[in-house]
């Protein structure tokens, strides 16, 4: 995957967010490598080219409210916050959630809210989102996320069994509530956990 699959606004946002800040001291020297990096608790942060590609597929604008499943290190969250009006991020691993929110707080990001919970549980308060991005592989399209996607909204997520062939899917929700899915590149993600 090359930089051409990442739109210019996303490229600019990625240049403004230092990946090293989101890595452990031991892994900081790896920040410039376009590869996934372990962040602990059997989780990884994806390679920047894939992060950029997935965020580009969302076609974000300042009017968008984004639901992010899998805060991880917080690196993609910081990029999303530069592009969207509001970012709501969920992380199931308490230690990852705590460290990511600490990092994001130090950056004084004011349009981002987080919860330490599974993406299998709705955000709550009847909140819906114009865009959803999932950084973990779902075996099938999660109804709980489709229900939170606004009409006209877009969701980007990997679909396929853990350890087997997965595809990056783009799901568009139509005005009548039906949806369309198109698959693109092959990917490999950790599983979407409960």
Nearest CA among 41, 48, 45 for reference residue 13: 48
Q: Binning pLDDT at 50, 70 and 90, where does residue 21 land?
A: very high
Lowest-confidence segment of 10-24, 34-48, 80-94 by average pLDDT: 34-48
Show the domain range for 121: 3-187
- Residues recorded for the chain: 194
User: What band does 162 get if pLDDT is binned at 50, 70 and 90?
Assistant: confident
Predicted TM-score (pTM) of this structure: 0.94
The pLDDT score that the predictor gives to residue 67 is 98
Least confident of 74-78, 109-113, 138-142: 138-142
Does residue 27 lie in a domain region?
yes
| 152 assigned to some structural domain | yes
Query: Count of domains in the chain?
Result: 1
CATH number at residue 128: 3.40.50.150
Lookup: tokens for 151: 């009409």
Q: Has residue 4 got a pLDDT over 70? A: no
- Domain annotation covers residue 192: no
Mean predicted confidence (pLDDT) in 29-42:
92
Per-residue confidence (pLDDT) for residue 30, from 0 to 100:
94
* pLDDT given at position 140: 92
Q: Has residue 193 been placed in a domain?
A: no
Asked if 98 is an active-site residue, the reply is no
Chain-centroid distance of CA 9 in Å reads 17
Catalytic option among 46, 56, 73, 77: 46
Distance CA(39)–CA(45), nearest Å, equals 7
- pLDDT higher than 60, residue 26: yes
Distance of CA 118 to the CA centre of its chain: 14
Neighbours of 25 (CB within 10 A): 7
In a domain, 64, yes or no: yes
pLDDT tens, 58-107?
A: 999 999 999 999 999 999 999 999 999 999 999 999 999 999 999 999 99
Q: Quick check: is 194 in a domain?
A: no
d(CA 140, CA 62): 30
């Amino acid at each position: 995957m090359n930089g051409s699959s990442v739109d210019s606004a996303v490229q600019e946002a990625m240049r403004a967010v230092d990946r090293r800040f989101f890595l452990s001291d031991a892994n900081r020297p790896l920040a410039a490598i376009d590869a996934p990096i372990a962040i602990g608790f059997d989780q990884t942060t994806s390679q920047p080219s894939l992060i950029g590609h997935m965020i580009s597929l969302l076609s974000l604008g300042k009017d968008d409210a984004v639901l992010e499943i899998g805060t991880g290190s917080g690196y993609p969250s910081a990029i999303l916050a530069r592009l969207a009006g509001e970012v709501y991020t969920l992380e199931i691993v308490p230690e990852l959630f705590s460290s990511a929110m600490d990092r994001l707080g130090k950056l004084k990001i004011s349009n981002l809210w987080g919860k330490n919970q599974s993406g299998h549980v709705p955000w709550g308060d009847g909140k819906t989102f114009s865009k959803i991005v999932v950084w973990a592989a779902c075996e099938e399209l999660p109804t709980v996320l489709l229900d939170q996607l606004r009409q006209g909204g877009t969701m980007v997520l990997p679909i396929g069994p853990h350890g087997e062939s997965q595809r990056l899917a783009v799901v568009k929700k139509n005005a009548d509530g039906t949806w369309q899915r198109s698959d693109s590149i092959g990917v490999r993600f950790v599983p979407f956990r409960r």
